[in-house]
Structure 1
Amino acid sequence: MSILDRIHAQGGDIIRSEWRFTLKRGRLSAEALAWLKLRMHWFSACCEVWPDYVNWLERAAICEFDGGMSRSDAERAAYAEFARC
């Protein structure tokens, strides 16, 4: 069972708005929330919600470091590229 399936089974959800993610808690226990907050678990859940998440992160990093953009501008520019697809 995927992380997202487990969240859904407890009445929760992960909502994506552009490149940002919000957790709707549902009936998730404090232990489940603590587990989910671990970096790799949250990252994996975000990848389930938006399969292009890793590619977007990479593109945003390129825009930031090679393009000299601020992080927020780089994220916005990278999202604009993926939104066209």
Structure 2
Amino acid sequence: MSILDRIRANGGEVVRDQWRIRLRRGRLTDAAIKWIGERRDELMREVWPSYDDWLERAAIREFDGGQARHEAETAAYEEIMKREAAKC
């Protein structure tokens, strides 16, 4: 069972907002929330398959390009979304 399936089975919901996610708790216990937090990257990959590409682009922009972290994340998100739109 995927992480997302486990969340939904407990009345929870994951909402993606650009490269961030919000968790609506539902009936998830504190221990379940902790477990989910420890698997955040796995959950992100389920919710947004382009997550790893975004991480890579943001890191390149930040470390090689000298952009501030938020600026790098924003630009990388826009780049990935344009690439996804071009595939359609």
Same-fold status (TM-score > 0.5): yes
AA partner of residue 11 (structure 2): G
- Structure 1: which 5+ runs fail to align? none
Q: Matches of 1:61 and 1:17 in 2, distance apart?
A: 19
Gaps of 5+ in 2: none
How far is 1:48 from its partner? 0.3
Alignment partner, residue 35 of structure 1: 35
Q: How many residues are paired up?
A: 83
Q: CA deviation at 1:54?
A: 0.8
Note if 1:67 corresponds to 2:75.
no
Please report the TM-score for the alignment, with normalisation by the length of structure 2: 0.90
- Aligned identity (percent) is 53
1:46 aligns with 2:44: yes
Measure the CA separation in 2 of the matches of 1:68 and 1:33. Answer: 35
Query: Normalising by the residue count of structure 1, what TM-score does the alignment of the two structures yield?
Result: 0.93
* Deviation sequence 1:42-62 (CA, Å, 0-9, x none): 110111000100110010000
